């Protein structure tokens, strides 16, 4: 196997490879760009025009997606997967991955779309680097652009594998991309309704990619992801890499649940209280009238929406950040 196929090993060890470029037997080029960043270029005769960005480890303790990307890259380096797409593999936060922690100083997935310019530290610098790597990779306007940012969640979820679809004013969502996610085992998609500061929101709104944050189960340590079943996603990614996806219908999306953001719960002060059990799962339903959270100056979040559910509840975030999202079934998804 080509040494650059061991990108995860290099990243965990903090090593820079001696050889920055290697070729597979079939002529695919592997090029090391920076720590945790490797570009794959297929032979010109095989290139199908897709630029595919696969990122994981934006949070360092989300190991199942990291292991998935490692398997894909090793398959390419061994010649078992023969890429027809250009691919950029990114391990997002190497310092946190090495520590097995979510982050070192601050959540890197709240530092994109220019937010890193307002901060200092290792995560702010890495967010800037990731934006630059993505923008350089997606530099040809004539090619198709697709980005999957792979995560696992802090807590359990009643819907284990789901996606977050960013928002851009005047831009409709793609039914074809939703059908592709459904085929990959994604059970639900949350349709955002305003701009965000996550990595996928950056590549979607600033670089024109079809981009998704994929939540794939609960975060566990390396080697302990046997309960995280990513077989359908891994198969679909292999097919995308090799340009051999089966024909798919993008009709009714009957098995895919679509949700819309009703409200975000923002923590404004240290007095913030969230009235949920510690072990509450993502997508837990909340009854109308439920007092969800309180903050200073009599600020209260009371559930008013029928069919409301909570995702990403986290009262420990820093002041000014989102402590949870209230979602409801999507009525008008505006798909094309």
Q: Convert the pLDDT of each residue in 63-84 to its tens digit.
A: 999 999 999 999 999 999 999 9
Share of the chain above pLDDT 90, in %: 85
Q: What are the binding residues for Zn(2+)?
A: 59, 62, 151
Pair (221, 75) in one structural domain = yes
Tally of domains in the chain:
2
Check if the beta carbon of residue 270 is closer than 8 Å to that of residue 245: no
Pair (158, 25) in one structural domain = yes
The predicted pLDDT at position 19 comes to 94
The predicted pLDDT at position 332 comes to 65
> For position 289, which CATH number holds?
2.40.50.630
- Active-site annotation holds for 215: yes
pLDDT at 289 over 60: yes
The predicted pLDDT at position 262 comes to 93
Which helix (H) or strand (E) segment holds residue 181: the answer is helix 175-183
Pair (26, 93) in one structural domain = yes
Rounded to whole angstroms, the Cα distance separating 108 from 127 reads 6
Pair (78, 171) in one structural domain = yes
Which one is catalytic: 210, 215, 242, 281? 215
Pair (268, 235) in one structural domain = no
Last residue in a domain, options 211, 242, 273: 242
Q: How many other CB atoms are there within 10 angstroms of residue 278's CB atom? A: 8
User: Using one digit for the tens of pLDDT, what is the confidence trace for 94-117?
Assistant: 999 999 999 999 999 999 998 899
pLDDT at 304 over 70: yes
The predicted pLDDT at position 251 comes to 59
> For position 181, which CATH number holds?
3.40.630.10
Pair (13, 93) in one structural domain = yes
pLDDT at 252 over 80: no
* 97 closest CA partner among 157, 129, 56, 152: 56
How far, in Å, are 13, 77, 238, 268, 272 from residue 108 at the CA level?
Answer: 21, 29, 28, 20, 23
Please tell me whether residue 111 adopts helix, strand or coil conformation. Answer: coil
Rounded to whole angstroms, the Cα distance separating 49 from 146 reads 11
b/e map of 231-244 (b: 16 or more CB within 10 Å)? eebbebbbebbbbe
Check if the beta carbon of residue 91 is closer than 8 Å to that of residue 32: no
Pair (63, 188) in one structural domain = yes
Strand spans (E) along 139-252:
144-153, 161-165, 188-191, 210-218
Q: Which structure tokens are listed for 69?
A: 């990307």
Last residue in a domain, options 242, 275, 300: 242
User: Using one digit for the tens of pLDDT, what is the confidence trace for 4-41?
Assistant: 999 999 999 999 999 999 999 999 999 999 999 999 99
Q: Is residue 50 part of a domain?
A: yes
Rounded to two decimals, the pTM is 0.94
Pair (237, 278) in one structural domain = no
Q: 117 lies in which domain range?
A: 3-242
Last residue in a domain, options 242, 272, 307: 242
User: Using one digit for the tens of pLDDT, what is the confidence trace for 111-144?
Assistant: 999 889 988 999 999 999 999 999 999 999 999 9
Pair (73, 140) in one structural domain = yes
The predicted pLDDT at position 253 comes to 79
Pair (154, 289) in one structural domain = no
């Amino acid at each position: 196997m080509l040494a650059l196929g061991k990108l995860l090993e290099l990243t965990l060890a903090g090593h820079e490879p001696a050889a920055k470029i290697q070729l597979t037997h079939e002529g695919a080029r592997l090029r090391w760009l920076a720590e945790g960043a490797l570009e794959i270029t297929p032979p010109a005769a095989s290139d199908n025009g897709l630029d595919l960005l696969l990122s994981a480890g934006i949070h360092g303790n989300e190991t199942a997606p990291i292991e998935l990307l490692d398997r894909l890259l090793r398959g390419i380096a061994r010649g078992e997967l023969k890429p027809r797409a250009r691919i950029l593999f990114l391990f997002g936060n190497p310092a946190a991955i090495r520590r097995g922690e979510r982050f070192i100083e601050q959540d890197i997935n709240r530092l994109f779309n220019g937010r890193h310019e307002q901060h200092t530290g290792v995560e702010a610098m890495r967010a800037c680097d990731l934006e630059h790597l993505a923008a350089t990779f997606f530099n040809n306007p004539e090619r198709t652009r697709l980005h999957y940012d792979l995560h696992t969640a802090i807590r359990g979820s009643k819907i284990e594998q789901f996606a977050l679809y960013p928002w851009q004013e005047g831009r409709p969502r793609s039914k074809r991309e939703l059908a592709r996610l459904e085929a990959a085992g994604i059970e639900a998609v949350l349709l955002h309704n305003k701009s965000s500061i996550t990595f996928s929101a950056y590549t979607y709104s600033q670089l024109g990619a079809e981009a998704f944050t994929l939540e794939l189960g609960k975060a566990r340590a390396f080697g302990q992801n046997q309960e995280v079943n990513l077989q359908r996603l891994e198969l679909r990614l292999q097919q995308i890499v090799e340009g051999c996806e089966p024909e798919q219908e993008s009709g009714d999306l009957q098995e895919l649940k679509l949700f819309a953001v009703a409200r975000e719960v923002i923590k404004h002060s240290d007095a913030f209280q969230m009235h949920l059990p510690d072990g509450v799962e993502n997508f837990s339903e909340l009854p109308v009238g439920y007092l969800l959270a309180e903050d200073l100056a009599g600020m209260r979040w009371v559930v008013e929406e029928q069919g409301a559910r909570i995702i990403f509840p986290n009262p420990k975030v820093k002041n000014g950040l989102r402590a949870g999202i209230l979602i409801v079934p999507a009525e008008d998804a505006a798909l094309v």
